[in-house]
Chain A
């Protein structure tokens, strides 16, 4: 069974403390900041502030790596929404992280065609070589989190793997160490 990265009911366990993720939350959209300017410019393109919610959340995730409850409150106040509403949206979409994840977020496609092509072995290889051991668990060095995802839309290039925003195609278990070595 595969779970999105945000699946509270699934295998995802909050990562072990590492780096900045458990530090007190630092606001993203402070007055005069570049992100604030970016968001303000974006808001002008929509009829309502509410419409800028998804991009605002993406900005938070890019800056902080995940969307903390404090971030929901910050976004809510910036966009004149309620924290409860923002929470509803954050939890609805599986691509917003509700827990800290590794710097390299590795999503392996395990939908039927990829599974036929051996995607489960690819998953095992990633879990072993990253040191994550389990799906959804961040590696002790804080670098990696591996999850299974549903169709990445690259069935012709099984098995595709999405690492943060980039696709790596035709991945086999043997290629995994080289792929990981190429990540900073």
Chain B
């Protein structure tokens, strides 16, 4: 049953929202962002910061819009003189003990205190007394606490209590001495604890990993999907000068809400590896792309091919590999599952691969020993697989080895052909998460050397192997895939868009 709709006017704009909506959320519908600190859509409402005060006609006092639900016929003024004056006062009080060390603060440029002070605060300070000082504290995990910058919104406390269910934080002391406290024997090593850094509206909670590495305004932001487990959390890949600096969560209420686990967010350095395959090679000699593709096709044609694929390759790459060689085998690295208990169906998944579901839907077999039973006359095709745990001796049983990857695995001592491809941050494509949701990721940086997007290389290769695949974009590959593979029927690259879509395979008996 849907809630009845309530009509109200916000800043002169008529809006209709379901009963029970807060004024702050209704204002978003009207296109008005009410300034706020303690409110966060993913956390319980606290109503402690008083930054979201708005004037509601016929109400005797200003109302905290995060904690006031809409009423029929309400007339809300966000920018009335009274509301602006109140919020200016709140900002002045927040800035009393705030160090204004923006030039050396990591949050600068993405700081809500900066933004709202710029928008609505006083131009100067009337405070002349010494400011409170407390030393920086290591909260454990990836989190550092700078109490001087803290505005006590308690988002971090509520995240640890209500989402992580690991009550490590509290507000300690009181009045002008208050700060965020950590229970003595606790720290922020919960697998999801680093989300408090994203939630912190100011520079009080900082990522140790990102500390002093880049300024917010230097970063280029690209919509992407975390490649580090089967959950497929939506991310923003932030790069500077073609280097991935960090992952941030991208809101998707169907997948990861507002969050991203610590392991996922901190495992981005492999995207920046310098020891990459950057040139097409034939028998150890540099070749151009045309020659290398032809050489690979000649080796594979008519031979028994063992295809070993990385389970984090895109759907597009796996589809084209299948067209070229038939479905191969994948291995999936596993680890402990780590749920975020306060969110539904959100966890760091045991499968630490982005696309095992997509691969299995297309007929790839999950194995633990990828080279088992490799025949002496077989051609081994390594598709971005690192061959961890496989010996050079095992590889040498193959008649020929074709490496299509970001790197040449250590176990492959003499590859016959190397076709260098882009990693997931250097190309676009889609992954299928463990619930069968197909999600797109975009290109965040340039591939090194002559490396090409995987779908580009594999389309050429499939064509040379007599499986015509002429595609000019990753989207065209996906659309061909959706026509050919029943599990993806009905999807298109455009409708998958940036929030993803459940595939037909998800309802037709996908893995739980």
Contact = CB atoms under 8 A, between A and B. Distances in A.
B172 A87 contact: yes
A30 interface: no
A9 B173 CA distance: 10
Interface string B132-159: 1010000000000000000000000100
B167 A88 contact: no
Contacts of B168: 84
B134 A83 contact: no
A69 to B, nearest CB: 4
A91 B170 CA distance: 10
Category for how many chain B residues contact A: 20 to 34
Nearest to B167: A82
B183 to A, nearest CB: 4
B171 interface: yes
A84 B188 CA distance: 12
B170 A72 contact: no
Nearest to B184: A69
Contacts of A167: none
Interface stretch (B174-182, B275-283, B430-438): B174-182
A103 to B, nearest CB: 25
Contacts of B172: 87-88, 91-92
B185 interface: yes
Contacts of B82: none
B298 interface: no
A100 to B, nearest CB: 16
From B134, B172, B186, name the one whose CB has the most chain A CB atoms within 10 angstroms. Answer: B172
B180 to A, nearest CB: 10
B169 interface: yes
Contact of B134 (A6, A9, A91): A9
Interface in A53-92: 69-70, 72-73, 82-85, 87-88, 91-92
B186 A84 contact: yes
A9 B132 CA distance: 8
A137 interface: no
A73 B177 contact: no
Contact of A73 (B173, B181, B182, B184): B184
Contacts of A163: none
B170 A88 contact: yes
A7 interface: yes
Nearest to B132: A9
Given A9-B132, A9-B134, A84 B182 contact: yes
A8 interface: yes
A91 B172 CA distance: 5
Interface in A118-170: none
A87 B181 contact: yes
A87 B177 contact: no
A92 B179 CA distance: 11
Contact of B185 (A8, A9, A73): A73
Interface of A: 6-9, 69-70, 72-73, 82-85, 87-88, 91-92
